[in-house]
Chain A
């Protein structure tokens, strides 16, 4: 192989790889999301959201029914590329746990669950600054970011989260513009 031919082959290969990469990326954004897979993996979503907001002295996300909220949000209130990012994330974190701990996420111990989720959290912030902004705009939110956003929203607007985790006043009836914050006072659930 002469030098010119070698260069053109490398270039072509590189070009082909880039095309294949772009095609894969396009497919990963735009294919019909496998919502059935998500619905079959309730135990996994239970464990994931409970890892984000665990039961402490107050109930956690699982008790608050956040899984139902996440499933409804992914199915109906999420752009397609983020639907796919989330469902791909579910598969990825399962294979990560199986290969590392030999168990699905929901059966791992809390330390391993935290370690696994930390890995995905770090992947969620590939670049800071402008590059990260462009990445987020093009690709949408990452698996971890979607999981965290929906867990927070689902928990804080659930009956359990709002009334036991936070402080919910159905009808305040009155307004006090400035009051001293009491020790340990919870934040208001609604604004």
Chain B
């Protein structure tokens, strides 16, 4: 790897090393570009820096619990991490932000970013998603269609390794899958009953970046279900286990951790970005690096903040922001609607191993005239999971204490089954990321202010989801169905999107169909911020495909002399 203390000029700079930044690094390095990857957090090297990965529950002082002090000081870190995975979530107390109403901003400031702790489910978007804005007259049209992205889904899937099952379902395109992580008895029961009673719906094993067999020198999954501590078997895809080592292997990568980007530097003579100015997270020394192209992959909220901070005489409202759209249209998938239930049968069946995912019910609302709702547009996907109730689920509710209680406690109880929704959120101009005018962070950079709320479409959908989940569980013979429905704060799904959106028209969007800035041709933004609508499925696979596609385009443009 190159030495960033000696060298300040590169072919490419990638800002961020999470799931999309890792892909940009791999693709650009493999195409021969000398590439500097800037990461604001500390270095995390595969295996070596996973200190909790192989610990038993009893190796932690409080087992997997948090102290009251931790919960008070770091409410988001402790809500998303446990004693085994806290090290990959930032401390709230060290990274404050401002909100107009509750918004949960979950961050992983380290090499690999949130690719260490992501949910790993990988679903392709379809033209139901890419055509939606145009069809509904909402926001702006996506500047691409499924056929444009399909080869790039193929490309990234063949490298990542996705375990899944082909379904030939029009709104969840199939991919190149490793064998699926099969459903257990209760999940299969739910799948059979649902398919039988709801023609047109499918229930499929979750498609996941956990490896059901060894793949590209990684894995296979060992079924420990401790993914978010980092996997010493490389049983799931992360930047740390896959793309960053692949980039480093080319000899073209320079990785610089602890480098917080203050701003992207703009050359108004050439109307190009010329580099970045960074501040070291520890020494606070300020340095500049230069390159021919820049990939911005700092994550949806931080990428918007970096552009807003990069103001110049040509772009007083932030780099590439002539449209005024940077920081607007923030989306997440809304969660918080679902149900828990029990099943009295199948008591003679169990499982071996700890499967890291459950099942998926892809979108079935507003997909055809017969499924069209009058009260809302778009739809939702359902995720589900079933298991025998064990001490965690039923310990406290078993009556009494003593030998009989213990006997029940240590044997598997009835099956329990959970179903929950990830709902599409529309792009609202008023859901925003801005820079606060007064308050600054530890590095003197303005604090991010988030203003996000759901509206009637999400509320109406949430109500339908609750009713429909209860109906599906009832139909499948579940009992003691306990539905819940509340619109959790934005950010809860950790699927932030939309603040630097793609579109066809420079007047109403920031990026073109290749994630290239309309205004500044050598800057590409390929993290979640580029998303024009949220779709219903987990979005990371789409960021990866868009990134690989944008890298291919950018390098071709460089070769043609257009950048």
Q: Is the CB of B352 within 8 A of A52?
A: no
| Chain B residues with CB under 8 A of A73 | 62, 65
- Most chain A Cβ neighbours within 10 Å, of B56, B66, B224: B56
Q: Is the CB of A174 within 8 A of B353?
A: yes
Residues 51-73 of A at the B interface (beta carbon under 8 Å): 51-54, 56, 58, 60, 69, 72-73
| Chain B residues with CB under 8 A of A93 | none
- Most chain A Cβ neighbours within 10 Å, of B185, B222, B348: B222
- Does chain A have a CB within 8 A of B392? yes
Q: Is the CB of B349 within 8 A of A178?
A: yes
| Chain B residues with CB under 8 A of A145 | 396
Residues 400-429 of B at the A interface (beta carbon under 8 Å): 400-403, 405-407, 409-413
- Does chain A have a CB within 8 A of B69? yes
Chain B: interface residue count, which band? 35 or more
Residue on B nearest A181 in the bound complex, by CB: B350
Known A172-B222, A187-B411; contact A152-B395, beta-carbon cutoff 8 A = yes
CB proximity of A157 to chain B, nearest CB, Å: 4
Bound-state Cα–Cα, A117 to B399, Å: 13
| Chain A residues with CB under 8 A of B174 | none
- Does chain A have a CB within 8 A of B355? yes
Bound-state Cα–Cα, A64 to B165, Å: 43
Q: Is the CB of A175 within 8 A of B355?
A: yes
| Chain A residues with CB under 8 A of B347 | 181
Bound-state Cα–Cα, A71 to B512, Å: 59
Bound-state Cα–Cα, A69 to B65, Å: 11
- Does chain B have a CB within 8 A of A26? no
Mask for A169-191, Cβ within 8 A of B = 1, else 0? Answer: 11111111111110011111111
Query: Which of these binds chain A: B36-44, B176-184, B474-482?
Result: B176-184
Residue on B nearest A182 in the bound complex, by CB: B350
| Chain B residues with CB under 8 A of A156 | 391-392, 395, 409
CB proximity of B209 to chain A, nearest CB, Å: 16
Q: Is the CB of B348 within 8 A of A180?
A: yes
| Chain A residues with CB under 8 A of B400 | 121
Q: Is the CB of A157 within 8 A of B63?
A: yes
CB proximity of B233 to chain A, nearest CB, Å: 9
Known A172-B354, A178-B184; contact A72-B62, beta-carbon cutoff 8 A = yes
- Does chain A have a CB within 8 A of B93? no
| Chain B residues with CB under 8 A of A114 | 401-402
- Does chain B have a CB within 8 A of A149? yes
Mask for B55-94, Cβ within 8 A of A = 1, else 0? Answer: 0111001111111110000000000000000000000000
Q: Is the CB of A179 within 8 A of B350?
A: yes
| Chain B residues with CB under 8 A of A157 | 57-58, 63-64
Known A152-B391, A186-B411; contact A117-B401, beta-carbon cutoff 8 A = yes
CB proximity of B343 to chain A, nearest CB, Å: 14
Known A77-B68, A157-B57, A177-B355; contact A172-B224, beta-carbon cutoff 8 A = yes
B411 contacts which of A60, A154, A185 (Cβ < 8 Å)?
Answer: A185
Query: Which of these binds chain B: A2-10, A98-106, A127-135, A158-166?
Result: A158-166
Bound-state Cα–Cα, A47 to B387, Å: 33
Q: Is the CB of B395 within 8 A of A187?
A: no
Mask for A24-59, Cβ within 8 A of B = 1, else 0? Answer: 000000000000000000000000000111101010
- Pairs A–B under 8 Å by Cβ, sample size 19: A52-B401, A52-B405, A73-B65, A149-B396, A152-B395, A153-B65, A158-B58, A159-B58, A170-B56, A170-B224, A172-B224, A176-B352, A177-B351, A179-B349, A181-B349, A184-B411, A185-B411, A185-B412, A187-B390
Closest 10 CB pairs of A and B: A175-B353, A172-B353, A157-B57, A152-B395, A176-B352, A172-B223, A52-B401, A76-B67, A157-B63, A177-B184
Instruction: Name A's B-contacting residues (CB within 8 A).
Output: 51-54, 56, 58, 60, 69, 72-73, 76-79, 114, 117, 121, 145, 148-149, 152-154, 156-159, 162, 165-166, 169-181, 184-191
